Chains A and B, each alone.
Chain A
Amino acid sequence: MRKLPYILPLLLVLLLAGCDKPESDLPINTRLGGEFTLTDQNGQPFTQSDLKGQVSILFFGYTHCPDICPAVLARVAQVYRSLEEAGLADQVQPVFITFDPERDTAKHLKEYLPWFKAGMVGLTGSLQDIRQVAEKYGVVFIKGKEEENYLFTHSDYIYLLDDQARVRKLYPADFNIEEVAGDAESLL
């Protein structure tokens, strides 16, 4: 009984040690996401496992898209820079997946994406592989019928993934930059 005064502070220290990283309130979305293998902008294979160990901001699009896609890319870059200012950018990975592999080759993505200054990974691959990963994320894309300068009808959600590559939140294309940055930080 005399030992109690010594044990209580020890328990308190142990409890506080377990509280230094509060769990995020964001629920785990078990319906979206999953294994995939695509090719990154350096021509190297990129799988779902490569997303693990960091928080990812993942989105789909194509570089010939004049309106929504560059706007989303610019907004994701703003999220990245916000996290960069907070010293957290090395724990966050923006990932752009094209659904236009015909024109968005690895070489083109490597030339296109660095302009946004957000350390973006660009993923391309066979149309079949891209279609599979799009289905896993509930993304719809339909190629236009024009032979030249074709466009896509497409969904444009942005996905926040935790360090286990699990989807934790979806945002519309005109997402709030502070909200996404705050949510990403809550997962770190």
Chain B
Amino acid sequence: MQKVFSKVAMIGVAMVLAAPVQAELVLSQAWLRAVPPVSPTMAGYVTVTNTGPDAVAVTGAHTAIAGHVMLHDMSMQEDGTRRMRHLGKVEIPAGASVSFAPGGMHLMLMHLSRVPAAGESVQVCLEQADGEPVCGDFPVSGSAPSEP
């Protein structure tokens, strides 16, 4: 009986060790920039921390208020102009944080069904290459939330 028990226990431990550890994304400092009600687009900002042991690729985002959300990067060119470009994915190394912030990477919400007002909060979900989307509440504000 003891032998059977130890075999089962060993198999159990082996299964736990063999199971892939789910990468975990934690969202913080999330917000949407408040814009006029007739605005065709909105920008979203968030800090994404990968608490898992493996790198994670964020491949997109979605929210109920936008028909389409794109990952964008804004970069300063040598001639002083700013260029926006679409990102297919954003890699977040294990244990690292990546910030989507004004003047840099951001979520571009397009085809808005409505423009939420300042003070509202909207759920936005980030999509991963592997794994379930990670969702968070994005308060609508004229400026970034203050640091915790």
Contact = CB atoms under 8 A, between A and B. Distances in A.
A173 interface: yes
A154 B103 contact: no
Contacts, number: 72
Contacts of A149: 110
Interface string B132-148: 00000000001100000
A155 B84 contact: no
Contacts of B35: 70, 115
B38 A111 contact: yes
Interface in A151-175: 151-156, 173-174
Interface string A126-166: 00000000000000111010000101111110000000000
B83 A66 contact: no
A74 interface: yes
A66 B109 contact: yes
B98 interface: no
Interface in B8-23: none
Given A149-B110, A151-B84, A70 B39 contact: yes
Interface size on A, as a range, is: 20 to 34
Nearest to B38: A111
Residue of A70, A108, A116, A173 ringed by the most chain B CB atoms within 10 A = A70
B40 A64 contact: yes
Interface string B29-63: 00001011111111100000000000000000000
Interface residues of B, number: 27
B83 A64 contact: no
B82 A68 contact: yes
6 interchain residue pairs of minimum CB distance? A115-B36, A66-B43, A66-B41, A153-B83, A111-B38, A67-B43
Given A108-B38, A111-B38, A153-B84, 13 more contacts: A63-B40, A64-B40, A66-B33, A66-B42, A66-B72, A66-B109, A68-B74, A70-B39, A71-B102, A112-B38, A144-B84, A149-B110, A155-B80
Interface string A113-127: 111100000000000
A71 B93 CA distance: 30
A155 B81 contact: yes
Contacts of A116: 36
A173 B76 CA distance: 12
A37 B28 CA distance: 47
Contacts of B36: 111-116
Contacts of A144: 84
10 contacts: A64-B41, A66-B106, A67-B108, A111-B36, A112-B38, A112-B39, A115-B36, A141-B81, A144-B84, A173-B82
